[in-house]
């Protein structure tokens, strides 16, 4: 399966194909001239796939080195970025060379940020290996790292030269890591794709069902994101629809301590909380919250989080990138398959945190 991200300045393709990781060298050769490549990965994914990818790239004529760091959201910070810069410098990387991001969302976000800032920007490719990265973070060109104040506070918009998705890599994910990716998949069904939502309703919620439907749910999710990114590359309009559940979700991630609540888990909790209050205010239809809860629980996603401290969460929200002065743009789902932006005074977000 192939999807084309038709951006005027930087178009690229998303390839979704079982077993494609074994042919990564051929894919890169079709996109890049012979050059130095640094694979950026984490220690867990590196043990599984780095050597295979390195050999495939070398067989295709590239000079390859591997930089890995300790896995986890807590390592997605400027300290790791500086270590990557040092590695690239010692490896002799120039502006004619490239980076391959091999891993989950943390790896993709950090590797993209490093590529977009090293020597004012070198090219990069995304090879996502987690469900969250395959359906969401590897597409669209958002890169970034966390600070103590907010998730992804420091980042850039820089598109990759291509995205290669091998659904077979999901078989090596831990159960929790696979399930958390369903938070983003559920979101896509809610905001833009009722056929995806119907497919999720037909699934029994088991790990086997996720793996069985992987190619389909990845394709549908990527297609939603592709359409939105092409319409609004820099996140000023409809791309904000992708943030349903994220405003509260990011606050949960930051205040719980990065990595304690996984991204997809936080999105699920954020969607439920947002829907619960929006439904009470008449902004979302009656029964929507129950539908979201039922879907999340079927796949094993959490729908609540403790301890829930409104003041601490609200403080984290004030650092959210969607805040503009004293207002913030939130996302609601007025009907299944359609999202809308609801701009409110920042102070009103406290109401959306009430349980």
Reading the block at residue 14, the tokens are: 């998303």
Could you tell me which of 182, 175, 181 has the C-alpha nearest to residue 199? 182
Q: Is 138 annotated as a binding residue?
A: no
Does the annotation list 151 as a binding residue?
Answer: yes
Does 47 appear as a known binding residue? Answer: no
- Residue 309 is classified by DSSP as -
246 is in an annotated binding site: yes
**316 marked as part of a ligand binding site:** no
Closest by alpha carbon to 238, among 225, 249, 250, 247?
225
Judge whether 255 is annotated as a binding position. no
> Tokens in use for 236?
């000023």
105 has binding-site annotation: yes
How far apart CA 333 and CA 288 sit, in angstroms, is: 9
140 is in an annotated binding site: no
Per the annotation, does 170 bind a ligand? yes
| H helix runs in 164-287, sequence order | 175-191, 194-202, 207-212, 214-231, 246-256, 263-280
Query: Does 272 count as an annotated binding residue?
Result: no
Is 297 annotated as a binding-site member? no
- Asked if 319 contacts 328 with a C-beta cutoff of 8 angstroms, the reply is no
Helices (H) and strands (E) in the chain, counts: 15, 12
State yes or no: 95 annotated in a binding site: no
Q: Compute the Cα dihedral for 234, 236, 238, 244 and give only its sign.
A: positive
For residue 72, say whether it is annotated as part of any ligand binding site.
Answer: yes
The answer to the question of whether 184 is labelled as a binding residue is yes
CA torsion 226→263→255→321, rounded to 10°? Answer: 0
267/257 Cα distance (integer angstroms): 15
156 is in an annotated binding site: no
The structure tokens listed for 301 are 């996603």
Q: Does the annotation flag 162 for ligand binding?
A: no
Q: Is 81 annotated to bind ligand?
A: no
Question: Is 74 annotated as belonging to a binding site?
Answer: yes
Distance CA 86, CA 128 (A): 24
Give the contacts of 222 (CB within 8 A, at least 6 positions apart): 3, 14, 16, 134, 135, 139, 165
Binding residues: 71-76, 105-109, 129-130, 142, 151, 169-172, 184, 246, 263
Binding residues for Zn(2+): 184, 246, 263
Binding residues for NAD(+): 71-76, 105-109, 129-130, 142, 151, 169-172
């Amino acid at each position: 399966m192939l999807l084309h991200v038709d951006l005027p300045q930087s178009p690229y393709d998303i390839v979704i194909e079982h077993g494609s990781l074994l042919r990564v060298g051929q894919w890169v050769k079709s996109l890049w001239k012979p050059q130095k490549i640094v694979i950026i990965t984490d220690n867990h994914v590196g043990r599984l796939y780095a050597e295979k990818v390195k050999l495939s790239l070398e067989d295709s004529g590239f000079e390859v080195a591997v930089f890995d760091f300790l896995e986890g959201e807590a390592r997605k910070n400027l300290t790791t970025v500086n270590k990557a810069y040092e590695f690239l410098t010692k490896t002799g990387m120039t502006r004619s060379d490239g980076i391959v991001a091999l891993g989950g969302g943390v790896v993709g976000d950090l590797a993209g940020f490093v590529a977009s800032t090293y020597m004012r920007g070198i090219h990069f490719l995304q090879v996502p290996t987690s469900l969250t990265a395959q359906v969401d973070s590897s597409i669209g060109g958002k890169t970034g790292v966390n600070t103590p104040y907010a998730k992804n506070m420091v980042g850039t918009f820089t598109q990759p030269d291509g995205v290669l998705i091998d659904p077979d890599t999901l078989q090596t994910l831990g159960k929790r890591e696979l399930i958390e990716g369903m938070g983003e998949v559920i979101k896509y069904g809610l905001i833009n794709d009722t056929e995806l939502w119907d497919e999720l309703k037909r699934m029994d919620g088991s790990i086997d069902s996720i793996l069985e439907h992987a190619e389909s749910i990845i394709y549908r999710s990527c297609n939603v994101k592709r359409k939105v990114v092409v319409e609004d590359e820099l996140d000023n309009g409809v791309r904000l629809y992708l943030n349903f559940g994220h405003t509260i979700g990011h606050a949960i991630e930051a205040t719980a301590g990065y990595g304690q609540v996984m991204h997809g888990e936080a999105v699920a909790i954020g969607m439920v909380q947002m829907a619960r209050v929006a439904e009470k205010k008449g902004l979302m239809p009656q029964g929507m919250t129950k539908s979201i809860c039922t879907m999340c629980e079927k796949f094993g996603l959490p729908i609540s989080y403790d301890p829930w401290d409104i003041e601490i969460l609200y403080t984290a929200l004030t650092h959210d990138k969607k805040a503009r002065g004293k207002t913030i743009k939130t996302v609601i789902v007025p009907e299944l398959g359609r999202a809308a932006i609801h701009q409110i005074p920042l102070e009103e977000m406290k109401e959306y945190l009430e349980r």
